[in-house]
Amino acid sequence: MLTNCFRISDPETGEAYQAEIGVEISDLGLKDTEHRTLREVGIQRRTIERQTIEQRREQILTRVESLRSEVMKQYLVLKSELDSWRASAHSPEAKDAILPLCDTKTFEMNSAYKEDLKALETLRVDTQGCEALDGFEALQHRCDECVVQLKTFRGVAR
């Protein structure tokens, strides 16, 4: 038995009393074992949660990087097409007709490309900073939306 004594006083009368509290500790070893078991379970759960978070993070980051690569490839294809179109203008009349259109398309394509890369970079940074499992659901949804909204793929630049 573990005991502790302390003085208390009656708030109405002001009389002082000696109080003693006792706690049975005969099963202290059992309680210590239970505490260790609960602690170990908590550590295991937290480890599993951290691993799951890292796996989800890697999945989304891999997808974002793949999308970024595809956007870059598509941009280079479109740029090559515009360059070929520009080079095909040999006569002054063709140059007057093609070059302004080509410049407009180049500007649109560059703007779309920069917006796409910015959206993917924002998603990447947010994914790296996420530390909660439920946050990854929202990030996955944003990633899915991002695929649909990428202007380079939708042909906005074409």
Domain ranges of the chain: 3-154
The secondary structure of 103-135 as a DSSP string is HHHHHHHHHHHHHHHHHHHHHHHHHHH--SHHH
Q: How does pLDDT run along the chain (158 residues), one tens digit per residue?
A: 778 888 899 889 989 999 888 877 777 677 777 778 888 988 999 999 999 999 999 999 999 999 999 999 999 999 999 899 888 888 888 888 888 888 999 999 999 999 999 999 999 999 999 998 889 999 999 999 988 888 876 654 44
For residue 58, the model assigns a pLDDT of 96
pTM exceeds 0.75 for this model: no
CB 104 within 8 A of CB 24: no
Q: Which of 76, 73, 79, 61 is nearest to 120 (CA)?
A: 61
For residue 25, the model assigns a pLDDT of 72
Cα angle 64, 67, 71; round to 5: 140
In whole angstroms, give the CA distance from residue 55 to residue 143.
Answer: 16
For residue 154, the model assigns a pLDDT of 65
In whole angstroms, give the CA distance from residue 94 to residue 131.
Answer: 57
